Structures are given as structure tokens and as C-alpha cells.
Structure 1
Amino acid sequence: MSQEGLPEQFSGMVRLFPLPNVVLFPHAIQPLHIFERRYIEMVEDALADDHLVALVLLKPGWEPHYWGKPAIYDVACIGRIRWHERLANGRFNLLLQGLCRFRIENEIAAATLYRQAHGWPMPDLELNVDETLKREILRQVSARLPQEHPLSETLQTMHELPMPLGVICDILAFALPLELRVKQHLLEAFDVAERAQALLRILCNLQKPELLPMPHEARPFPPQFSAN
């Protein structure tokens, strides 16, 4: 395996899974329910091969073109299927773990029902990383959490363990209720220092009394958001 968790002989080809309302980040785990025929085929092919799928956000205005090839952003996140179950109706429940950012160079003409693309993984660029950013980001998030918020335990772990700043930013960007365009902007920030500074600006721009909301009551698995 490479440093990004990809196969050593990774060809640069990915199976694209475009969604209108999910931005996956490295290190995060996203539950998904797969029910469209094209994406059932995608999961079948992934499970028979390297278990990799690239989740990519659809650009605004996707609705009229959803069943064709609506426009997507140039940066996706490659994920590995860590767990799956096939249902009696042929659909899948699965857990997709983000591995690395991926720059899409071009789409590939393929015979599959789902879209494919070629590009290259983008590892974190860790130059001029200021560790004080870590403390300030965690302080800003902690100040906005209601008591008993589930994220509090994660923050405590981030304080105590020598977790890289890039990983902290990715986990928080995925977990926090930020707008999709903001999440996509953070995903496109390969430079860790720039990513951390951008996240800190976002947090500081929140009104002081504004607390991060408690998550809704646990939803049944599969979640409702995976409209595919």
C-alpha cells in the first residue's frame, strides 16, 4: 500500500460516485445506501477489484442532468469500502472510509453504467505548519459546542494525541455542519497550513453565541441522504 492507502500499482483510474449533498474527507467514514442500478454495478466492480470508489460533489444546477452526466468538481476523495452488506433486493449498505484527495484530470469513455475518470492522488503538503493553529482551532470548536455534544470526546482525543494538523482539519470539516461549498473548498486545500487557516477563519466568523447544533436523533441505517 502507498502512503495514501492506495495500491502500490494504482493506475490513476477511479470509479466516480457523484452525490449532490455529501463531501467525503480523508480519515472520515461515510455510511451509504446504494440503490441505483449504475451504482450497484459500481459497488460490485469495486468489491471484485480494489474496493475503491471516488466520491465527488455535483456542482450546482445538477438537477435537470442527474440521469446523464451533470458537472462535478475537479477534486474528489477516494474512499475504500470497509464494510458492506448486500440486501435481498440487490441493494447495498456500506461504509466508505476516505483515503486521500484526488485531482480529476479527465473522464474516461467507459462501457460501464457509472462514470470513470483518470487523475492523480494529492497528498497533504505540510510546509510551514504552525502548531498553534491546532490549539486555536480546537479552542474555537470547543467554545461552540453544547454540553454533552458527541464531538466533545473527539476533541479531547485531538488534544491528547499527536494527531497531524491536516487530519484534525479533515475530521472537523467532515463532522461540522458547514455548507457544502465550504466543505468542498476545504477539500480542495492540499496545503495543510492553508486548510487550517481557512477552517479557523470559518470558525471565527461564526457569531459568538452561535453554538454548533446537537446532531439529530440517530437515524436508521441506511441514512436518508444518499440519493443515488
Structure 2
Amino acid sequence: MAQGIVKAGDLPQVIPVFPLNGAVLLARGQLPLNIFEPRYLNMIDDAMAGDRMVGMVQTTGGPADNPTLAPVGCVGRITNFAETPDGRYMITLTGICRFRIAEEIPARSPYRQVRADFQAYAADLIPAPSSAEIGRPGLLEALRLFLEHRGLEIDWDTARDAPAEALVNSLCMALPFEVAEKQALVEAMDLTARARALTTLLSINAADSGDEDTPPSLQ
């Protein structure tokens, strides 16, 4: 949890957003990003000068230069920052809380900003207990079949021993699901619902042969 944030009302009402399909963030998850577009370099400069918060959100179609934002995203705090010799920013966002977009704010900045409503997801601010019910045996079996068909590997000792929230959220963020599938996982109301949806998606996708360009490991 970001320092000083104990309830949804402590979060900023207006946040900058980074629309990026396939790159989703969840509470306490860590998302590495390589920033190179000028407007997003500008966004990170502004965030670093302020509260370091950026919202990650997917899109649902529309024009390429101004796609329609998905209704739910997740705000994160920049917890690691480095600049490369060629001017790119390598950052890590640590998830804080999901939000529903109340409205997009007309802005003079080159990047997009929204008014964020955190109330429906205020429970994100409280870590789930490590013993939370996620149906781990069924989830791990569905994961095994999914990975076998995709030719992927994972550290099984870590998967078996990881706290419930860390396991489910990291899989939702890392696994190569379609944009709509990722969005369903982001919008799942709580950890139990997300674990159930994840298990279902793994089972549905287990018969796929996978993409030859998919990286060979999720470690």
C-alpha cells in the first residue's frame, strides 16, 4: 500500500492513465514498463513530480489514436524508476486499488486523464489473507494443463507455496490471455471470484496449441 493511503478517499480523484492492452495491474502486483513515447514520458515526468500515481487501463476499440477506455482499471505507484542512455524510462508500477472511470477529463496534457471512482473496489486496499479461498488444487491443475499446451514453464514450488492473492494476481497479470479475458479478471469483484474466473479461463484455453512467438517461461 502506498504510504499514507488507508481508505479510498485518500486516493486522488483525477489520475493520468496509460492505455495499454494486455498489460493489466492488480492490487500489490508489480508491473514493469518500458516508456518511450513522448506523451507518456511527459506523463511519467509529471507523476514523478507529484504523487507518482498512474492508472493502467485497457481499451475496447475505437480510433487508434484515441481508443475507448475500458470501464475499470487499476492505479499504481511508481516504485522503481531508471532512465536509459537513449532517453527511455524503465519503471515499475505497484498496484494500489482498482477504479471505475467516472468520466474522462479534458486535459491540456498530451496524455489522457480520468476522474476515478475507487469506492466499489475499496477492499483492494486491504491485503487478502494468505489462506483466502481460491480453490488452489483445481487452479493449479488447470494451470498445469494450460502451460503444457502452451509450452510454458513455471516455478511449481513457488506456485504451491505462494500466498493466495500473490498467486492469483500474478497469474492474471502474466499469463497470455486475450484483452477481453484480461479485463474480466480485472473486473472480478474479489479474490475468490477472480480465482474462479482464472480457473475457468485456464480450462477453456487449455486445448489451444499456443503461439509460437510466446515466451518459453513465466518465471
Q: Indicate whether the TM-score tops 0.5.
A: yes
Unmatched 5+ residue regions in structure 2?
A: none
Q: What is the rounded CA distance, in whole Å, between the counterparts of 1:123 and 1:153 in structure 2?
A: 32
- Residue 151 to residue 184, structure 1, CA distance change in 2 (3 Å): farther
Aligned partner (choices 100, 106, 110) of residue 113 of structure 1? 110
Superposed displacement of residue 197, structure 1? 1.9
Superposed displacement of residue 3, structure 1? 4.5
State the SS of the aligned residue for 1:135: helix
Superposed displacement of residue 104, structure 1? 0.9
Number of corresponding residues: 205
Q: What is the rounded CA distance, in whole Å, between the counterparts of 2:180 and 2:38 in structure 1?
A: 28
TM-score (norm 1): 0.75
Does the CA contact (< 8 Å) of 1:133 and 1:196 recur in 2?
A: yes
Tell me if 1:91 matches 2:93.
no
Tell me if 1:71 matches 2:68.
yes
1:47-62 alignment to 2 at 5 Å?
Answer: 47-62=48-63
Aligned partner (choices 121, 137, 140) of residue 138 of structure 1? 140
Does the CA contact (< 8 Å) of 1:145 and 1:211 recur in 2?
A: no
Provide Cα deviations, 1:65-114, integer angstroms capped at 9, x if missing partner: x1xx3211010111111111123444312122222211111111222221
Superposed displacement of residue 58, structure 1? 1.8
Unmatched 5+ residue regions in structure 1?
A: 219-228
- Residue 62 to residue 155, structure 1, CA distance change in 2 (3 Å): farther
Superposed displacement of residue 213, structure 1? 8.8
- Residue 216 to residue 33, structure 1, CA distance change in 2 (3 Å): same
Q: What is the rounded CA distance, in whole Å, between the counterparts of 2:152 and 2:10 in structure 1?
A: 45
State the SS of the aligned residue for 2:135: helix
Which stretch has the larger CA shift, 72-81 or 209-218? Answer: 209-218
Does the CA contact (< 8 Å) of 2:134 and 2:195 recur in 1?
A: no
TM-score (norm 2): 0.78
> Identity rate of aligned residues, in percent?
30
1:156-171 alignment to 2 at 5 Å?
Answer: 156-158=160-162, 163-164=163-164, 166-171=165-170
Q: What is the rounded CA distance, in whole Å, between the counterparts of 1:151 and 1:98 in structure 2?
A: 23
Q: Which has the higher contact order (CA 8 A, sep 6+)?
A: 1
2:10 alignment partner in structure 1: 9
Give the structure with the higher percent helix. 2
Does the CA contact (< 8 Å) of 2:27 and 2:74 recur in 1?
A: yes
